[in-house]
Amino acid sequence: MPSDHSAGAPASSSVDFEKVGSDYFQQRELKKGAAGWVLLVGLGVAYVISGDYAGWNFGLAQGGWGGMFLATLLMATMYLCMCFSLAELSSMIPTAGGGYGFARSAFGPWGGFLTGTAILIEYAIAPAAIAVFIGAYCQSLFGIGGWMIYLAFYIVFIGIHIFGVGEALKLMFIITAVAAIALAVFLIGMVPHFDAANLFDIAKTDAVGASSFLPFGYVGVWAAIPYAIWFFLAVEGVPLAAEETKNPKRDLPRGLIGAMLVLLAFALLILVVGPGGAGSEALKASGNPLVEALSKAYGGSTWMGGFVNLVGLAGLIASFFSIIYAYSRQIFALSRAGYLPRKLSETNKSKAPVLALVIPGIIGFALSLTGQGDLLILVAVFGATLSYVLMMAAHITLRIRRPKMERPYRTPGGIFTSSVALVLACIAVVAGFLVDPRVVIGAAVIYAVLIAYFAFYSRHHLVAGTPEEEFAAIQKAEEALH
């Protein structure tokens, strides 16, 4: 098929566009109107809620309670500013590409691809890490774990997504609500045992700036950042539901900001009440910190501990389930536009992108067999924070270069807000490297393979007429008029 620079896309010396027939897009349609803003809030919380159950507490071992508290405030600020910025971008460019679509509009095809694949690294790898944690949970609860559990969860939840997005989102919402109820039970149960002295029971070291508040000194704040991210990681995936939302220009901003406010409340309450009731020292290395906190506070097993332990599995399932949705929509958008193999974006009768669900699932299952949940999460964090830098740069660029674009929702504070998120995202990228150098190797290899595919093949075979390219073409035309 010959390349064509005029087919609904701006010309570029570094990429080539190809015309496709109308049947191409008919084979690649998502189910319209499947989600309103309430379901989007549930989706945003579902992405993240497993981080409330485990993972965050390892930051206590890196920075003490004070270091983790300051790191959480920094990351909460980053995510809140980012969600305000993404709310504007998603109301302007409501496509399934999410961050890829935003960066495509700001920086062209290369910027779109680099952002989209960074997001893809985050979402394709995170379920593999969560599968490892689900396996460990099932082992402790039922005596069955390992590859059989990983495989069963991948098959069941990918199958539900293939059946239909409306059903999947509703089930996801129910699972998330159950997990949120268990968090509320935990918080209510721990409040009577709160003692501020428990927060500072980790022994002070000789590090620079060390105190009872910062037992590992100033560097502890930096080291705790990747674990503070676990309270919020993946909430930015709400815009990936744009093409399945009833009123995306209204619902996406509400969903993003609503989910972030819920997560912010949970993060601060859990960080204060958990260590405040059980002690930071007792939780800093726990694989199941909420149950550990209840056991410590009540002097043994209780019905609350059993309930939180059992329903904690629902929290992991909610994140596993929802992030499968996220990676499939990111792959769908990149594939539909030709950045990834086009076959991946074909949808079935239920309007679900089957191969975009199944193939990453196979890869994720293979990665889960390593059992390296901690390493997989850190690679996912690298992809996430890199995409944050690029998306915030896109917000700033579009505000400066295209101030007259329609913005149904406008970010409070404008460029200042996205600049704060950009600076903090840069800090977070570096912090991830400091925790484990293997992150650099693993993430760099994956990223390099994807970039090579784009550089040598797919940039010469991009599809004209996709929603992201149409937005870019309209912007180009409007720019020429002014």
Residue appearing with tokens 């909610």:
318
Mean residue pLDDT across the chain: 88
Q: Has residue 7 been placed in a domain?
A: no
Three-state SS string across the chain, please? CCECCCCCCCCCCCCCEECCCHHHHHCCCCCCCCECHHHHHHHHHHHHCHHHHCCCCHHHHHHHHHHHHHHHHHHHHHHHHHHHHHHHHHHHCCCCCCHHHHHHHHHHHHHHHHHHHHHHHHHHHHHHHHHHHHHHHHHHHHCCCCHHHHHHHHHHHHHHHHHCHHHHHHHHHHHHHHHHHHHHHHHHHHHHHCCHHHHCCCCCCCCCCCCCCCCCCHHHHHHHHHHHHCCCCCHHHHHHHHHHECCHHHHHHHHHHHHHHHHHHHHHHHHHHHHHHHCHHHHCCCCCHHHHHHHHHHCCCCHHHHHHHHHHHHHHHHHHHHHHHHHHHHHHHHHHCCCCCHHHHCECCCCCEHHHHHHHHHHHHHHHCCCCHHHHHHHHHHHHHHHHHHHHHHHHHHHHHCCCCCCCCCCCCCHHHHHHHHHHHHHHHHHHHHHCCHHHHHHHHHHHHHHHHHHHCHHHCEECCCHHHHHHHHHHHHHHHC
Beta bridge partners of 353: 347
Q: How many domains does the chain fold into? A: 1
Residue 122 near residue 380, CB atoms below 8 Å: yes
From first CA to last CA, the distance across the chain in angstroms is: 34
pLDDT for res 313? 87
Q: In this predicted model, which residue has the larger pLDDT, 30 or 334? A: 334
**CA dist list (Å): 100 to 95, 105, 177, 335, 390:** 9, 9, 30, 12, 9
pLDDT for res 72? 97
For 395-447, the pLDDT digits (tens) are 999 999 989 888 999 999 999 999 999 999 999 988 877 777 777 777 888 89
**CA dist list (Å): 271 to 191, 193, 208, 219, 307:** 12, 14, 24, 20, 20
- Residue 245: CATH number of its domain: 1.20.1740.10
pLDDT for res 166? 66
Cα–Cα distance between 229 and 380 in angstroms, integer? 11
Q: Has residue 459 been placed in a domain?
A: yes
- Nearest 5°: the CA angle 388, 392, 396 is 170
Residue appearing with tokens 């508040």:
213
Q: Can you give the pTM of this predicted structure?
A: 0.89
Extract the tokens encoding 132: 């490892």
Q: Has residue 12 been placed in a domain?
A: no
Residues 262, 267, 269, 271: what is their CA dihedral angle, to the nearest 10 degrees? 180
Residue appearing with tokens 């560097």:
219
Residue 251 near residue 39, CB atoms below 8 Å: no
Q: Has residue 133 been placed in a domain?
A: yes
- Dihedrals φ, ψ of 208, to 5°? -60, 130
When pLDDT is cut at 50, 70 and 90, the band that residue 482 belongs to is: low
Residue 106 CA neighbour count, 13 Å, CB half:
26
Q: Has residue 21 been placed in a domain?
A: no
pLDDT for res 357? 96
pLDDT for res 34? 63
Residue-number span of the structural domain to which 178 is assigned: 30-481
For 133-166, the pLDDT digits (tens) are 888 888 878 888 889 999 999 999 999 888 876 6
- How much of the chain, in percent, has pLDDT values that exceed 70? 94
Judge whether residue 117 has pLDDT over 90: yes
* 261: number of Cβ within 10 Å: 14
pLDDT for res 6? 37
For 275-317, the pLDDT digits (tens) are 999 999 999 988 788 989 999 999 888 889 889 888 888 888 9
For 231-262, the pLDDT digits (tens) are 999 999 899 888 888 888 999 999 999 999 99
pLDDT for res 405? 87
Q: At what angle do helices 248-278 and 165-190 cross, to 10 degrees?
A: 30
Q: Has residue 18 been placed in a domain?
A: no
How far out from the chain centre does Cα 13 lie? 33
**CA dist list (Å): 399 to 4, 108, 315, 392:** 30, 16, 38, 11
Residue 270 contacts by C-beta under 8 Å, 6 or more apart in sequence? Answer: 52, 56, 183, 186, 187, 290
Residue 178 near residue 311, CB atoms below 8 Å: yes
For 352-401, the pLDDT digits (tens) are 899 999 999 999 999 999 888 777 878 888 899 999 999 999 999 999 99
Beta bridge partners of 17: 462
Q: Has residue 10 been placed in a domain?
A: no
Cα–Cα distance between 222 and 71 in angstroms, integer? 7
Residue 131 near residue 368, CB atoms below 8 Å: yes
Q: In this predicted model, which residue has the larger pLDDT, 30 or 6? A: 30
Q: Has residue 15 been placed in a domain?
A: no
